[in-house]
Structure 1
Amino acid sequence: MIMRRTIERVLLLGALSGATFVASPERARAQDDDYWVDVGDDSRSPRSRDRGGPSSLDEATRSGQGMRLGQIAPREIPPSYAVRRGDTLWDITGHFYGNPYEWPRVWSYNPEITNPHWIYPDQSVRLLPEGTPTTIAAPTRGSRVVVRRGVETGTVFLREQGWLDEDALETAGVIVGSPDDHMMLSPFDQAYVRFDHLPDGQSAPQGEYTIFRAIEAGQRTEGEEGTLVRILGALRIDSWDSERRTARATIVEALDPIERGYQVAALPRRFEVVPPERSEIDLDTEIVATLNPTELVGDQQIVFVPVGEEAGVRVGHRFFVVRAGDRWREELAESQRQAATIDPPAEPEEYPDEVIAEARVVSLRPNSAGLLVTRATVPISIGDRAQLRRGY
């Protein structure tokens, strides 16, 4: 059973599995949407007590203010619960604890449940640690949710997968612990993150970091470089202990349950698609990775090249993806070639380059760049050559 978050309207855009691109105002109007983010209980705030606030989600959307949801009176939490048809851990935890975000805690009490998305009718789910009697849960004042805008026009947003070059992976941190008492972490939980190495010139981690797991080599195309990662969420660095090289952080997004041992990196996920910028250099390189290694790569998808700022690449530069050769000879089997009515002549030593795609730089690191394919006449492959041309 797929857990559904009833206080969030999740933004779903485009057909790309790894990235979302909003190219024009028309597409933006058709695809963009607001989404609700739970920012916790702010009942102790004087401003929160003084103002009445919106009385409906629609009013809160129009006003841009938050709205309190989920105020619940004191209630009993029994040691266990018998699952009924249609139940999810999200629903069960919301009913008994008054906060569905506590579902990782309930899951940690039930090690026999190997997948939190799948529970079955009549299954007994422990709601408290083993041996704990019925508990009276304190009343809750609910949470205030605020409206945030979705992906803006002219941006690329990585929502499921990302790519790290060797330099970025070397400076990644790892979640080593949490002051919370449950195995699976979720938004608003605290985490301890250790960084053995930081980028040159940076004395402390700061801002938001992406939580990820590396995708195994067997799931990637042969010859790809760098590390393709599955994005699991994000956390915000709150403080830094330079002696222990450990940061205290708050989880702000969880696409899946977050566990100790997951890595974090400064992986940008939102990029502006700027106007094309004329190149002042000639540069030859090749496509070394894609966000979707098992799929054909075409328009509005992301590819990566192993050159960046240090080579003179800039955001907005246009790379021309080129290929040379006789595609008929390369792609057809020997038996199909023999079907020709005349023997093909010997191939020339070298074919001219043909442009098969154009891609624009949208993300940049010292030694790598992410490109958005803006036009492609045939699918792009790993190893295809990419060129910057002076004056274009």
Structure 2
Amino acid sequence: MSAGSAPGLRRDRSTDVQSIPEVESTGLSDGRNRAAIQPRMGLTMLKRTLVGLFCAAVAASSIAADESTPAQLADNAPDTYVVKRGDTLWGISGMFLKQPWRWPEVWRMNQEQIRNPHLIYPGQIVVLDRNGPTLSLGRNLGPNNTIKLSPQVYSTPANSPITSVPLDAIRSFLVEPLVTEDEDLPGQPTVIAIQEERVLAGTGDIIYGQNLLPESPAWDIYRRGKPIVDPVGQQVLGYEAQFVATAQVSQPERDGKAAELKVIAAKQEIISGDRMMPAAKSELLAAPPHSPAKGLQTAVASIYGGVGVGGRNSVIVLAGGHNIGLEPGHVLALSRAGGTTIYRGDGRAQEIALPDTPLGLAYVFRTFNRVSYALVMEANGPVRTGDKAAAP
């Protein structure tokens, strides 16, 4: 990944201007499409050619669910914008588009570029072409908004790429264990003792553990919390993992002896019996906002923190993860089922379905097998457990 590249863009080295790549072919990968256009005689050739073209068109149409209608520009969308420190992909997208999840379309990003996006840095210029509409990056600016002649993207190592959403709202969620989806069975990594037979341990203390994987030098310590339940099917999806501390292995487990660990940072006091899992790696959240597959729908399993309702900047737990195709960067529309009403006019009772009530948008930032976490980005009403979350 190039530090100076932007999502879905490649560098034109002759002019030092980022340009939009051509859309790649989306023909069939098993060779049928190629076979369909090979020279054939008579009706057989015509049939195969038509079938091949049809399949290619279907594959191409699946790249972006909304490509049938151009993305709508936001009111007063600027022609250019200089990226500033503290900006987010969500904020910049909303500056140019009425539908932030259509960001990949205006950058002409394919699925691989969505999952492994290039980064955008402060000082770069986002340029809008209203004919598409499309977005691209022009030359980056140096101090006092002067054009830099160097091909470098940023002038000092202190400059960091912008993130998808404000990290202050979700920073701890990106590195702390949130869910344990395995059964709590014997043989799991566990704190078995504290140095000098103490009852509690904190930062700087020595603890002992067993069943640790030798390839993991750092471990998160947690306690199993309440179950996360699917509000629709009522099955248990996993259990909240209450983060306790992080510890570093100082002596590995060997020759029948327990592993020794030093507590690096403690949020709560550690006790014997606390469970452990390999420490999560801190990664930059740079997944661009984009829509999941059409038809994807799940429900809000809970509002993080045990509160009854959520709103803008609340973290919500979704009843679905990798198993239903959710991934970081997905934007979901939140709504509440309208239910039904009984209309008793015209001399008879009639049950009529009411439309769902739109509640806002949520950005998925972390996914597990059957559970995901999302940040409510826009809300025009309270969000509750059981509310719908679906592709916008």
- TM range, normalised to the smaller chain? 0.3 to 0.5
TM-score when normalising by structure 2: 0.46
TM-score when normalising by structure 1: 0.46
Higher relative contact order (CA 8 A, sep 6+): 1
